[in-house]
Homo-oligomer: A and B are copies of this chain.
Amino acid sequence: MFIPAIKGQGTEEQQQKWLPLAYKMQIIGCYAQTELGHGSNVQGLETTATFDPQTDEFIVDSPTLTSSKWWPGGLGKVSTHAVAYARLIVKGQDHGVHGFIVQLRSLDDHMPLPGITVGDIGMKFGSGAYNSMDNGLLRFDHVRIPRDQMLMRVLQVTREGKVVQSNVPRQLIYGTMVYVRQTIVADASCALSRAVCIATRYSAVRRQFGSQNGGPETQVIDYKTQQSRLFPLLASAYAFRFVGEWLKWLYTDVTQRLQANDFSTLPEAHACTAGLKSLTTSATADAIEECRKLCGGHGYLSSSGLPELFAVYIPACTYEGDNTVLLLQVARFLMKTVSQLGSGKQPVGSTAYMSRAEHLMQCRCSAQRVEDWLKPNVVLEAFEARALRMSVACAQNLGKFSNPEEGFAELSADLVEAATAHCQLIVVSKFIEKLQQDIPGKGVKQQLQTLCSVYVLHLLHKHQGDFLSTGCVTPKQAALANEQLRSLYSQVRPNAIALVDAFNYTDHYLGSVLGRYDGNVYPKLYEEAWKDPLNDSVVPDGYHEYIRPVLKQQLRNARL
């Protein structure tokens, strides 16, 4: 993020000066935005950068305890430089938050420079990976930096202390956000597919109950409850992968447009990536834990790989935008789009369906038999109608408030649900679009069609309340959808292992005894256990000190 920040917000000269140093690792940089007291609300940051016209410098300062930088990855122990975000103060006037390149440590001996207090913020969730990241804290005590270390692509401070807006539009910053969040969606599909791969393989190895006449027991993957918990996650892993690929395309498209000074699709693209970041990371975090539970007791062992995958993954729900805050942004965009529907302004991109509002507000789902729920157009219309009706209902309810901001606050829980419905529609429609393309490999397309239907119908079942209350689907149709879903599970079952093998993860990368490609789980679990340092001695270290006195009743000074 140090490098993208300089790329996005630095001038040409700044990029030429700093990027090579960072690329060659002659300096190590971090992205220092969040403070102890401010994360989501970036505009509320308290660190100040005050221009001193006498010396042509900025004085960077942490005026309060809550203004201490807090969380930046790499800040605590490793970084020599930071892009620090601070309020720009010129001639007593506050010009809002901007980025400043600040050197933190000496390049000779790594000692913090004068005025800099820097350290690690301490232990985090999990026993491993994320704790090897030195998320840090940082305080500035009137630290002076040259004027040209303010990132000045958008706003400039001149030698004379004039604050000048450049002709580069502020919106460019959103381009960077689209980029970062798009990579987060790709990461979600990756983390999810790892967890699903482990749980699926182990579910085929694990047998429990159901032995007949002394034969082998049932593989737990054959239980319908296991399938109904696992296969939607498998389908989601594919769904997120496809929507991630599409987002990558969207980012390229937006970038090209920005270069041509076309900002028309930016708000939609921004809402779209924000919403998909929220949807995919929340779903993935939940799914990893569900996969762990699907592995029964053994999923709780570190050697299953799932605990650490969870611990390392979950902050994705919080960083780069808290998921609830992001959905509220999506909802705001949707309300704006709905309010403009009558005005002739055509909704674009992922909101294009809203232009068919008249139809979608009154259409009736045509599904009459279970097979009808396999038809892409039936499904798509149901999801479009649901999303639109939920947005329109919110907009109508908002209209009852005299103060729109008050209404938005009051109805925000409903608005989040409408935003979720919209984001789910995007994932569904991109999955369906993907299947309209040529897909190489014999039978692959058919498998993906099955997974697509699983993805769609499990969402429909999970959010049945939305579909029924908006009248998009009747109870009878919902029951048919559920019946179809059940029979799809039986179709996924024989290919489940192939579908996770297709992710092509090595055992080393998966890092899970339960998810081994060869299925040789039990001997390896047993082997792994003996590697634990606790097993180096037969009689445990604390025996003489703690256990023996208890057994021999020699607790002279017992404190019980």
Bound complex: CA of A223 vs CA of B40, how far in Å? 14
Q: Which of A285-301 contact B (CB under 8 A)?
A: 285, 289, 292-293, 296-297, 299-301
Residues of B contacting A526 with CB < 8 Å? 36, 65, 68, 137
Q: A78-B540, A548-B110 are in contact. Are A534 and B120 (CB under 8 A)?
A: yes
Tell whether, in the assembled complex, residue A551 and residue B26 are in contact, meaning their CB atoms are under 8 Å apart: yes
Q: Which residue of B lies closest to A303 (CB)?
A: B122
Bound complex: CA of A322 vs CA of B220, how far in Å? 13
Bound complex: CA of A299 vs CA of B131, how far in Å? 15
Convert A73-95 into 0s and 1s, putting 1 for each residue whose CB lies closer than 8 angstroms to a CB of B. 00011101000000000000000
Residues of B contacting A515 with CB < 8 Å? none
Tell whether, in the assembled complex, residue B300 and residue A314 are in contact, meaning their CB atoms are under 8 Å apart: yes
| Complex interface: stretch among A11-19, A186-194, A408-416, A422-430 | A408-416
**Size of A's binding interface in residues, CB under 8 A:** 115
Q: Does A475 contact B (CB under 8 A)?
A: yes
Task: Provide a sorted-by-A list of 25 A–B residue pairs whose CB atoms are within 8 angstroms.
Answer: A26-B553, A28-B550, A36-B525, A44-B209, A70-B525, A71-B297, A77-B540, A78-B540, A78-B547, A80-B551, A119-B530, A120-B535, A121-B529, A123-B301, A123-B532, A124-B307, A127-B131, A137-B526, A137-B529, A223-B412, A224-B409, A293-B317, A297-B318, A410-B486, A469-B478
Q: Does A315 contact B (CB under 8 A)?
A: yes
Q: Which residue of B lies closest to A475 (CB)?
A: B469
| Complex interface: stretch among A258-266, A352-360, A460-468, A491-499 | A460-468
Q: Does A442 contact B (CB under 8 A)?
A: no
- Nearest Cβ on chain B to A152's Cβ, whole angstroms: 26
Q: Does A319 contact B (CB under 8 A)?
A: yes
Q: A41-B208, A296-B40 are in contact. Are A111 and B225 (CB under 8 A)?
A: no
- Ranked 4 nearest A-B pairs via Cβ: A464-B465, A123-B302, A125-B307, A228-B413
Q: Which one of B124, B543, B547 contacts A300 once the chains associate, using CB atoms below 8 Å? A: B124
